[in-house]
Amino acid sequence: MSENATKAELRLCARLELDEAAASSLIAAMRAGTSSRQAVVLSPLAPEGYIPPFACEDMSAHAWLPPRVYVPVAGERPTAHEDYARGLYYSLDLSSCWESAALAVVPAPEASLDLCAAPGGKSMLMVARYLPACHTANEVNASRRGILRQNMALCGVPNVEVTGLRPDQWAAEGRLFNLVLVDAPCSGQSLLCKGIRNPGCLGAQMVNGNAKRQKGIMLAAVQCVAPGGYILYSTCTYDPDENEKVMAYILRRVPGWEAVEVPSLASYRSTLCDFPAYRLLPHHGCGAGGFCCLLKKI
C-alpha cells in the first residue's frame, strides 16, 4: 500500500475490510481517476437488429451485462455520432449498467417508479430490459428534472410520466408500484475514480449525512411497493454506511422484506453483510464502481 495514503483513504479501506493488494488498487484508482468505462444502452427508438456505429468490446465473459448494452472500445466517442443525437442510444458509465444487472431476477413490472431518476440512466436500463406498461421517472431538483424530461423524450421512452415529488410525498400518495428504483444520492466516492474532484467525499460528515438521507428515502420507498414487488437500491459510492448498513437498517426496521439473490452477480457478493448485496470496485475492471441490493416485499 502507498506510504503516502491519507487517513481518509486508509479509513475507507479498513471499513471495506480490503486486503493490502485490494486497498492499494482502490487508492491508486481514486488518485489516477481513469477507471471510468463508457457504455451505451439502446433506446426504444433503435430498430430491430440495430448495431451501434462504432467498435465495441467483446463482453461475452460478463454474464451480468444487461440486454441492449454495448461497451465501446477505448478511444471511441459514442456521443459524437449522429445516432446519439437521434436518440437511438443513451451513454452512461459501465458501472451503472452493472448496478442494474440485479433486475435480471425481477418479473416485468406493470407499473414502475424511478424515485431519484435524473439524468435518466437507470430508467433507460430498465426500459431496455422490459417496457413497463407505465413508468414514472421522478426527480425533485427542478433543473435536473428538465434534463431528465429531455432525455426521456429524445430516446422515445413510451408511457413515461416525469414528476418532481419528494419521497415522503410519494409515500403519502398511496400509489403502488411493482418495481421502485432508488439510485440514492450519495457521497459519490467513485467520482474520484472517474477523475472528478469531490472534496470531502471520504469524510465521516458527508458519509453520515448521506446515510441519514438514504434511510429516509428508503423508508418512503417501501411504502410505494405493491405486495410481491421489488426495490432496487444502488449507489455510486463505497462506504458501507451508505450501502450495506442502509439495507440492514431497512430489513431490521421494516417487517415483510427480504434481500434477493442475483446469481449473475454472485462473484461480486459483499462480505460485509449476511444477506445478498453486491459491490463493484475499480480493480474489477468494469468501471468506477458502485453498490446494489435488491429487496422484495413478501
Catalytic residues, by residue number, are: 236
What's the structural domain count of the chain? 1
Distance CA 47, CA 17 (A): 46
pLDDT tens figures, 219-237: 999 999 999 999 999 999 9
Is 2 a member of any domain? no
Question: Helices 244-253 and 204-221, interaxial angle, to 10°?
Answer: 40
Q: What is the pLDDT of residue 4?
A: 82
Report residue 3's pLDDT band, with 50, 70 and 90 as the boundaries: low
CA 252 to chain CA centroid, Å, is 23
Distance CA 190, CA 24 (A): 15
CATH number at residue 94: 3.40.50.150
109, 130 in Cβ contact below 8 A? yes
pLDDT tens figures, 32-58: 999 999 999 999 999 999 999 999 999
pLDDT value at 14 more than 90? yes
Q: What is the pLDDT of residue 250?
A: 98
Is 291 a member of any domain? yes
Task: Please compute the mean of the pLDDT values over residues 127-150 and round it to a whole number.
Answer: 95
Q: Which amino acid is at 2?
A: S
Is 198 a member of any domain? yes
Q: Which residue has the cell 472534496?
A: 199
Is 27 a member of any domain? yes
Report residue 2's pLDDT band, with 50, 70 and 90 as the boundaries: low
Residue 86 domain boundaries: 7-297
Residue 265 grid cell = 452477480
Residue among 241, 221, 86, 87 at smallest CA distance from 167:
221
This prediction has a pTM of 0.96
Is 131 a member of any domain? yes
Is 1 a member of any domain? no
Report residue 5's pLDDT band, with 50, 70 and 90 as the boundaries: confident
